[in-house]
Structure 1
């Protein structure tokens, strides 16, 4: 089968299963068609069809209307001027037969003439599509199958302005391996618009997904006000959704969530639930669900339930089974054509046996479908064994509610990577199928949802990376520039719980740069990142994608600017252009801050900073700054380290920023062995240590019991002090103590999280004296602390004969001395060094922001800046002796 697929790929340009598509050619539009989801069996024929000016369409009265519309439009897009219905072929015209055995009887003869077996032995929704010299035949095992055949034909045919296109002969025999495939709109946060929902239903049909579960958290009549009838206007909108879904062969599932207030034993509540179902039955809805997720089962909503079932998890399972069985028998069983009832258990996220699951398994009607999210609310992997275990522990058919690409738990991010971590063969063990929970951003969700559709249709042939590349190409609508820009943007929004690596393409480019030093190649990649948002704004067909992704597009563009500046800084420093590199270094923090400044507004009106390329783009700017530090000959910025996870944006670096109002905040309670650590970047003599924890509003978020320790290598630790029950801890290291690392380590667990406002470690290697005095918030020591981001800012202009003295704490052989002024600093000074004989000699004059002075290896113990009188207040970032 694979050999046949590959052979056809050579003729049609269709990527074979598992093969990565090559880069787009020079044409604006892609010429090679892509069929997705990947067909089960796709074979080459020796003949080919020609799109004639008039095409005859043969279709019976029972042929699926939407399939015929798709077929007709595909033929017109391929260059036909007219598509005319007829009972049979007309000489000189291409004839297209559309409809399965129960729709268009003539199709059977057309398939026989082409030497192709019909769809009779295929599973439901299967189809046969054959392209021959004079005819094309589409035949579904049912009407859905014919519709899916039309969708494959739409992808197979070229797009031309006129007739004459040659279409290579092909035979496709295809069917889904997952019976139920689609989407559950079940996220929290900003809801989809009605227009977006209608568009999504069109999209599901195009990609052969057959279910949409209507469970939006913004619909109060589904959850908080579930007993109340819908207003007429909202019912009218729902009716429009139901009709659109049916036309696209998508099953509209109505999910009512009564768990917040239902009395399980109440006849009135059971009637209210079934009455609500009856109301929407009139809209044409035939599939129903009762989610009982995200509620408590440790307390009842009415005393009658406790009297009937008692207390505990098993009692909750019994009560829920009672309610669901009544709905199943009173409503589902009395409405011919209703699909099996679906439910979401309160324990929906694992396969661990429990009293609750046991009660539900034993008491729930056997035809009720149970929804499950895998092992975890967002499962990194879902295996065949786990699916079997879920089927066993719940003892019911399983419909996987897969929480990807949903981003309501990380609303600052887009999740555009592929569907991943789902083992081949897993869907067959579920008993029902798979629904994916999408993002708040409906249009951006289409990229990962295309990969979900690919997996659920043909998991055996599924390759996440190939499917992702195909999804991007399809969403770019064949435009090569859009496709390139969309891939770049999706790459920096790639990672999630199921895709561990962020920005895999760009991360590889960066890794190659650090290995080989190839600046040009990385600059091209970063330039692509900078420019891709504008390309998408200008060229992408669905401008709604731009509207909902705007802050992330802005951030990606800004990160492109920042990372290119960081790369330029490294190149200049390596090329010996110190002044230009220093200028770039001073611009960098502002560019990074700009990249982090973009926000979106959530439902509560809060401004949420968006994140793009986390751990790759920010890491590159940090690594570039560290490389610049290395080339300058300084230790670099003191770093914060911890093993604790971070709550929202309260990063570990905030405990070292000198601002008592900002803080590091962990996202879990502190356990024994957890730590926060200051990395001084090299072994230095340390003095006073201050650890300030807790904050207003979270006064108890501090390490209750712990120890202050220091180390030179990060492996062997010496104790400085212990502490208990204090939010502010201070200690002083014995004179002469050398350390690179200082940490606070918890010696006992606790229930509170950890806030660290500031963790300050005094260093004593060398000293800075003289004047002018430092302004508030600054210090003389900042002029020579190894950190170019800390600045000595003088409180005033220099007075006559005033000087700044940097004592190195001993003699050293020096090749040069470099003086760095911060942006805006304009002080001038004579730069002097003190030699081994104690005498001062002039190295040069500081006149600009960057001054580098050669010393030719002489022994130096101090550097002095003799200020020129009358200049502005000095601002010295660092005095560096190499």
Structure 2
């Protein structure tokens, strides 16, 4: 018989498998090719063995029909001709010279393709079912018999015993249909646990003592039945902590009786989450009398109740799986009286769920898992809060499972991931969770993510490209710090290379992605889940394309075209930010897409346009701190005290927020307004205000401590380009900066007509084309609008920008050093640029024509301004 040829040995090799068959997921532990192959015959015989069940056989039969088999016949012996498939029969591997599964752990399997047969042999029934899922992936999709399938030997097993999902988020609940669909997905991806803990099920928490109405119990039974068919442990999680009296006989009995009703419909795995409750306030006086007060008392009381459940229910029900619990201190590995009591008094076979170091742990290491095992002194099942977004409801978290160290699954009883409010959109991240939990040694987040997108796109390249672009724009999370990494790299490439054609193509693909996904994505639930984000993506792509065209027009000397495009941006940005969905409480939730990447590109494009126009001095900001959600640095420079920059962590000594004034200029008053209602301690508790001309050498303006609002005035004649607020000590609170203001004194603006409400004369000369001076009336005869230039200097050009539709008429004049005004030209539509031959001037003005309409001026740009 043909020998097996090792390809990569026991270490998983997704690329190797891809050379002989479609990618297998999760990545197998060992894949070997064979020199022979089998042919899908018109009639295929399926022979079942001791580790097969109906679910596995159905997956096999369906896969065979998709591969071209016209008849699939079940029999107790191989067929007289054609292909035979052995399901759950390890002895049949002997003909292929392949070792059986006896040495594998639970859920392991061997799949052999060759020697005229296919053999699926699991360590147990679940293993055989997983072999069937692997066969489903490697068989081709053909319309007729005759397909030839390369010989293959897969030897595979999971990296940890429990792998799956805990539906434990707050917010809009999943539908019953979505839960059923999720269970199908888990089975296909070799995940074997689903913890039913939806916060919307009142009978799990607030009404935990009450019996389910019949219709709700029927739905749970349907879920449990579907889970069993997919080899998924349906875990029922009852959360009594809001009202339980731990010492109460009645409550212990109520808990056991509630579990019994769930047992009676077929559930065999149970959990008692005690998270998100107060454990220092008892629900009954009897508990305080029995255990006293404090964390240690709470741990002892919880252990007492759980041990009763373990003894009176789990131990008395043969077939029940080990009890699971979520401790109240579920988010760290620090020793505490609570953990000590729980570790010493809780029955040793109870599984403890733990979220890592942090509620949403950016990283999780082998050392941390070992520390959790030590401090709780119980087996650890992770409740990994990814890709859950109930704390960031304006985002889809579509990046891969990352930050989890290789070797971690081997330290755990299992891994459960808490998904998003959006069930179908969660599948992209859950694909990678399943891949990591099964075979962490082979896991690469980006590779797994790409394979998951390919599978979810149904194999269509254009849909896959669209899905990748959309998922990239919704990538960042606590686990994946970089937002839109592929799009950000394209923007960086553009600024370095100037390759506008390439970026135009990228943005075109991003803009067309929503339509492509709506038309071509097989899972329509994803389209419904992601609808407002899809809309926002299309709108952001439109704005980014406009910004790109603006820059290219400006660089090509097409100033009027660039200004016309620039004026389109505000409405496009408003549209991009307008998309919402309705949350559980009825409020509209604005969605974020590509934040920190798409918006920054538009900002950078406007800054480049400013540079080409000759505008200077528009401040920008930077920091070494992270940003919480959409509370970006630009918000502390927008002149609106109700918006703010908000860090995503506490500042350490040396951390700073810095304002770049765009050029060296005089600085006078400096105002730093920190903290906000609801976060009154989020300010730099001890720090200094400093200034610098070069960003390297700094001088102190003032020190401050213990106050959120800081105002100081620099000595007369102080010049700087940079001003920063720097922490001089670490702190526990995060940082909010509402406004960081360094007003410019670049010459007085005088004249008229007076500005309308909400506008100002200075808006015509403030170096920001986004602000507009709007006159309250038409100009009177001889009326002018004038700005001094502080000091006389050479002026190579003057550019006047008007909003589209403005029909104001005026002469443009410069004042020479002799005090006389000279006309250099007249307003000519929205964009007027005049070459002034470098003449020396100390002021510029607009002399309004009689009968002119009420003026509107976006900016008067005097080149050489510095």
Provide Cα deviations, 1:18-71, integer angstroms capped at 9, x if missing partner. 78989xxxxxxxx95121011111111111111112212222587310111110
SS in 2 for 1:523: helix
Distance 2:208 2:510 in 1: 46
1:499 counterpart = 2:480: yes
Match of 1:215 in 2: 197
Q: How far, CA to CA, are the matches of 1:125 and 1:273 in structure 2?
A: 32
Whole-angstrom CA distance in 2 between matches of 1:261 and 1:700: 33
CA–CA separation in structure 2 for the residues paired with 1:506 and 1:762: 35
Q: Please give the residue correspondences for 1:190-589 in structure 2 after superposition, counting only pairs within 5 Å.
A: 190-430=172-412, 432-589=413-570
Three-state SS of the structure 1 residue aligned to 2:858 is strand
Cα distance, 1:209 vs. partner? 0.6
**Is residue 2:132 matched to residue 1:150?**
yes
Q: Which residue of 2 aligns with 1:63?
A: 52
Change (3 A) 1:761 1:873: farther
Q: C-alpha distance in 2, partners of 1:19/1:633?
A: 57
* 1:854 counterpart residue number: 835
**1:596 has 2:596 as partner:** no
List per-residue Cα deviations over 1:115-159 (Å, max 9, x = no partner): 222222222111111111521111111111111111000000011
Q: Secondary structure at the match of 2:391?
A: coil
Moved more, 334-343 or 50-59: 50-59
Higher mean C-alpha displacement, 493-502 vs 271-280: 493-502
Taking a change above 3 Å as real, the CA distance of residues 825 and 540 of structure 1, as seen in their structure-2 partners, is: same
Partner of 1:27: none
Q: How many Å separate the matches in 2 of 1:722 and 1:471?
A: 51
1:16 pairs with 2:13: yes
2:590 is aligned with 1:609: yes
Determine the C-alpha separation between the residues in 2 that align with 1:748 and 1:129.
Answer: 60
The 1-side partners of 2:321 and 2:779 are apart by: 85
Moved more, 446-455 or 764-773: 764-773
**Does the 8 A contact of 1:793 with 1:873 survive in 2?**
yes
Q: Structure 1 residues 115, 733: closer, same or farther in 2, change over 3 A?
A: closer
Structure 2 unaligned regions, length at least 5? none
After superposition, what is the alpha-carbon deviation per residue over 1:420-449, rounded to whole angstroms, capped at 9, x for unaligned?
Answer: 11111111112x111111111111111111
1:647: how far off? 6.6
Structure-1 residue corresponding to 2:83: 94
Change (3 A) 1:253 1:92: same
Task: Give the secondary structure class of the aligned counterpart of 1:212.
Answer: strand
**CA 1:744–1:181: 2 relative to 1, 3 Å:** closer
1:43 and 2:32 matched: yes
Q: Measured at CA, do residues 499 and 390 of structure 1 come closer, stay the same or move farther in structure 2, by a change above 3 Å?
A: same
* Number of positions where the alignment pairs a residue of Structure 1 with one of Structure 2: 860
Quick check: 2:13–2:31 contact (8 Å CA) kept in 1?
no
Is 1:75 aligned with 2:56?
no
User: 1:127-138, aligned counterparts within 5 Å?
Assistant: 127-138=109-120
**Does the 8 Å contact 1:21/1:469 carry over to 2?**
no
Deviation digits for residues 460-508 of structure 1 (CA, Å, limit 9, x no counterpart): 1111111111100111111111111111111111111111211111111
Tell me the distance in 2 between the aligned counterparts of 1:338 and 1:695. Answer: 51
Could you tell me how far apart the structure 2 residues matched to 1:255 and 1:726 are?
45
- In 2, Cα distance between equivalents of 1:630 and 1:845: 23
- 1:806 CA displacement: 2.6
Paired residues of 1:21 and 1:466 also in contact (CA < 8 A): no
Structure 1 gaps, min length 5: 10-14, 23-30, 102-107
Distance 1:56 1:140 in 2: 19
| 1:637 to 2:618 alignment | yes
Q: How far off is 1:686 after superposition? A: 4.0
Q: 1:77 to 1:713 in 2, by over 3 A?
A: same
Distance in 2, Cα, partners of 1:656 & 1:45: 65
The answer on whether the counterparts of 2:17 and 2:31 sit within 8 Å (CA) in structure 1 is no
Following the alignment from structure 1 to structure 2, what is the Cα–Cα distance between the partners of residues 32 and 173? Answer: 15
Distance in 2 (alpha carbons) for counterparts of 1:448 and 1:100: 34
For the 8 Å contact 2:689–2:702, the answer to whether it is kept is yes
String of CA shifts for 1:486-543, please: whole Å, max 9, x gaps. 1111111111111121111111111111111111111111111111011001111111
Any idea what SS the aligned residue of 1:420 has? coil
Q: Which residue of 2 is the match for residue 841 of structure 1? A: 822
More displaced 10-residue stretch of structure 1: 793-802 or 610-619 = 793-802
Instruction: Compute the TM-score of the two structures, normalised by the length of structure 2.
Output: 0.93
1:182 offset after TM fit, Å?
Answer: 0.7
Q: Select the residue among 150, 154, 169 that pairs with 1:187.
A: 169
Structure 1 residue 747: Cα displacement: 8.7
Q: Give the Å deviation of 1:813.
A: 2.2
CA contact (8 A) 1:140 1:149 kept: yes
Find the aligned partners of 1:330 and 1:800 in 2 and give their Cα distance. 96
Deviation at residue 269 of structure 1 after TM alignment: 0.8
Q: Name the counterpart of 2:43.
A: 54
| Structure-2 change in CA distance of 1:562 and 1:5 (3 Å) | farther
Distance 1:219 1:181, change over 3 A: same
Residue of structure 2 equivalent to 1:170:
152
Distance 2:438 2:723 in 1: 55
Q: Tell me, yes or no, if the aligned pair for 1:184 and 1:213 is still in contact at 8 Å.
A: yes
Distance 1:373-1:732 versus aligned 2 partners, 3 A rule? closer
Q: Secondary structure at the match of 1:762?
A: coil
Decide whether the 8 Å contact of 1:8 with 1:170 is kept in 2.
Answer: no
Secondary structure in 1 matching 2:45: strand
Displacement after TM superposition at 1:308 (Å): 1.0
- Provide closer, same or farther for how the CA distance between residues 325 and 541 of structure 1 changes in structure 2, counting only shifts above 3 A: same
Q: 1:667 to 1:174 in 2, by over 3 A?
A: closer
1:750-799 CA-to-partner distances (Å, cap 9, x unmatched) read: 99988766555432222322222222222222222222222222221222
CA distance in 1, matches of 2:621, 2:576: 22
Q: TM-score, normalising length from structure 1?
A: 0.91
- Relative to structure 1, the CA distance from residue 220 to residue 169 in structure 2 (aligned partners, 3 Å threshold; closer, same or farther) is same
Q: Tell whether the 8 Å contact from 1:63 to 1:98 is kept in structure 2 after alignment.
A: yes
2:606 aligned partner: 625
What is the Cα deviation at residue 170 of structure 1?
A: 0.8
Which deviates the most, 201-210 or 42-51? 42-51
